[in-house]
Amino acid sequence: MDTLGVGRQVAEDASLDLLFRQARTYYGWLLKPVTDAVLTQIYDLAKMAPTSGNCNPMRIVFVRSAEAKQRLLPGLKPGNVDKTMAAPVTAVLGFDTQFYKHFDLLAPHALDRIAVYEADPDLALRAAFRNGTLQGAYLLLAARSLGLDCGPMSGFLHDVVDEAFFPGGRVKSNFLINIGYGDPASLRPRGTRFDLEDISTIL
């Protein structure tokens, strides 16, 4: 159904509900596993969304095994321990601060940018963080589109998590997403959102 009148297909209400209007942040989880095949499906959707110059700085460690959860545990702040230990999977999202080293594969049109990023590490860091964060949001929406639920969070000790999962310093942790099939009993009342006129100016 083309409600915009521009000849383009738009998402049906059911899809918008799944991704946005009825989607929630979950704090508890059903005992249903998330398989490798599902994780692959999630990533294969998320990777198609845009990043600046196709730079793709996001790096992921999917924490699922009991051993991996124990490695993650020391890096969690107390309020996030129980829900993370119970989650079928926790995606530890990081960003590669030297993402431009892959431009020969990802962005052959932008090889001249390699020297720019090498000369300005702060510029590279900001680009990596911004685009890695975008990709993390895409990953969350991809998971929702496949019928899973998510619990994103930033309550963790970055240095501890980096040492456990991104040793070497090149990749930095960004945020975590618990992924699985949410327990409706764990939901909190939905928080208020701003209306457009509260936070925007249209010029």
Greater confidence (88 vs 2) lies with 88
Report yes or no on 7 lying in a domain: no
Number of domains, the chain: 1
- Find out whether 151 and 81 touch, Cβ atoms under 8 Å: no
Report yes or no on 117 lying in a domain: yes
Q: How confident is the model at residue 1 (pLDDT cuts 50, 70, 90)?
A: low
φ, ψ of residue 172 in degrees (nearest 5): -115, 140
Mean pLDDT, residues 112-116 taken together: 98
Residue 70's domain comprises: 25-174
Angle, to 10 degrees, between the axis of helix 36-46 and the axis of helix 121-145? 120
- Taking 80 as the threshold, does the pLDDT of residue 82 lie above it? yes
Report yes or no on 201 lying in a domain: no
Q: How confident is the model at residue 70 (pLDDT cuts 50, 70, 90)?
A: very high
Report yes or no on 170 lying in a domain: yes
Report yes or no on 185 lying in a domain: no
Mean pLDDT, residues 60-88 taken together: 98
Report yes or no on 132 lying in a domain: yes
Mean pLDDT, residues 159-163 taken together: 98
Q: How confident is the model at residue 189 (pLDDT cuts 50, 70, 90)?
A: very high
% of residues, the chain, pLDDT over 70: 98
61: domain CATH number is 3.40.109.10
* DSSP 8-state secondary structure symbol assigned to residue 76: B
Q: How confident is the model at residue 4 (pLDDT cuts 50, 70, 90)?
A: low
What's the pTM value of the predicted model, to 2 decimals?
A: 0.94
